[in-house]
């Protein structure tokens, strides 16, 4: 992945967790920046997007910014930083925003909702960036980069993304409980350590990745009490990696 760079601005789930205990990996919620040539791609807008925005404002120093913001889903820890994304208030910023349609509407309605007067003092309309909202239904391209979305099992639904750029492949599969879609899921209810079996259509999105970022929230012991909560165990992730042979 010499030409594709990945930077983590937020790695936590549920809530930001500042403090000495989280200094090594940071305490901000999900935000991942990917660059390939001139393509500027960001996954999710957790609280980490605020720090990313401050960095961008220094880096670009008033010059135009043309960025793409891809949402996996709209649970709060994946959108809560968007109102604090400084670049979105600058007229020289252009944002193409991607996400799935939800029962509550598209991404514009959903992001606007958390910035309505009852919840936040500044409305979405105060952001001066040029915004183009797009609904994700199939693979698409951002410049030379191919983005392949796929459905993940998570309460309310979530998207994973396979990013192909030149010889580089990066896969993001945050917030998912793959045991729920294992073809032998009934057997796993009585034996959590039994090897998982997955549909080939799912495995193809993971195969050949040089970097896989995947939900692995629970130890195998803890997972027994958290089935159905929407997150993976260590055993689940080990199995998926073994089946795609290379990660």
For 30-60, what is each residue's pLDDT tens digit?
Answer: 999 999 999 999 999 999 999 999 999 999 9
Residue 110: name the closest of 155, 72, 66 by CA. Answer: 72
Of 96-105, 163-172, 186-195, 204-213, where does mean pLDDT reach its minimum?
Answer: 186-195
Distance between CA atoms of 84 and 80, rounded to whole angstroms?
A: 8
Which of helix, strand or coil describes residue 240? helix
Give the number of other Cβ atoms within 10 Å of residue 59's Cβ: 9
The answer as to whether 13 is a domain residue is: yes
34 lies in the same domain as 101? yes
* Strand 130-135 with 93-99, pairing: parallel
User: Where is pLDDT greater, at 18 or 95?
Assistant: 95
Residue 25: name the closest of 14, 10, 44 by CA. Answer: 10
16 lies in the same domain as 124? yes
93 lies in the same domain as 12? yes
The answer as to whether 96 is a domain residue is: yes
**Averaged pLDDT of the chain:** 92
* Strand 168-173 with 158-165, pairing: antiparallel
Distance between CA atoms of 220 and 232, rounded to whole angstroms?
A: 9
The answer as to whether 157 is a domain residue is: no
- Residue-level pLDDT at 235: 86
| pLDDT at position 246 over 90 | no
Read off the pLDDT of each residue in 114-134 and give the average, rounded to a whole number.
96
17 lies in the same domain as 129? yes
Q: Which domain holds residue 235?
A: 176-247
The answer as to whether 162 is a domain residue is: no
Q: Which two tokens stand for residue 79?
A: 């959108």
Read off the pLDDT of each residue in 87-104 and give the average, rounded to a whole number.
96
The answer as to whether 160 is a domain residue is: no
37 lies in the same domain as 123? yes
| pLDDT at position 215 over 80 | yes
For 144-176, what is each residue's pLDDT tens digit?
Answer: 999 999 999 999 999 999 999 999 999 999 999
The answer as to whether 35 is a domain residue is: yes
**Quick check: pTM over 0.85?**
yes
| pLDDT at position 195 over 80 | yes
220 lies in the same domain as 124? no
The answer as to whether 158 is a domain residue is: no
Domains: count for the chain: 2
In this structure, are residues 155 and 230 in contact, taking their beta carbons and an 8 Å threshold?
Answer: yes
The answer as to whether 161 is a domain residue is: no
210 lies in the same domain as 126? no
């Amino acid at each position: 992945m010499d030409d594709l760079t990945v930077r983590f601005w937020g790695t936590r789930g549920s809530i930001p967790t500042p403090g000495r205990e989280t200094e090594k990996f940071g305490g901000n919620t999900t935000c991942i920046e990917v660059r390939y040539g001139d393509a500027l791609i960001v996954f999710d807008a957790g609280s980490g997007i605020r720090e990313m925005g401050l960095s961008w404002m220094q880096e670009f120093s008033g010059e135009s910014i043309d960025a793409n913001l891809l949402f996996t889903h709209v649970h709060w820890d994946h959108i809560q930083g968007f109102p604090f994304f400084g670049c979105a208030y600058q007229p020289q910023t252009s944002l193409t925003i991607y996400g799935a349609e939800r029962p509550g509407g598209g991404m514009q309605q959903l992001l606007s909702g958390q910035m309505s007067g009852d919840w936040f003092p500044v409305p979405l309309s105060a952001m001066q960036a040029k915004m183009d909202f797009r609904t994700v239904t199939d693979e698409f391209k951002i410049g030379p980069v191919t983005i392949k979305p796929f459905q993940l099992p998570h309460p309310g639904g979530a998207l994973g993304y396979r990013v192909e750029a030149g010889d580089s492949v990066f896969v993001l599969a945050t917030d998912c409980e793959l045991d729920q879609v294992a073809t032998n899921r009934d057997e796993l209810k009585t034996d959590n350590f039994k090897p998982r079996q997955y549909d080939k259509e799912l495995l193809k999105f993971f195969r050949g990745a040089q970097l896989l970022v995947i939900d692995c929230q629970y130890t195998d012991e803890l997972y027994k009490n958290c089935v159905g909560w929407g997150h993976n165990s260590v055993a689940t992730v080990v199995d998926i990696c073994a089946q795609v042979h290379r990660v």
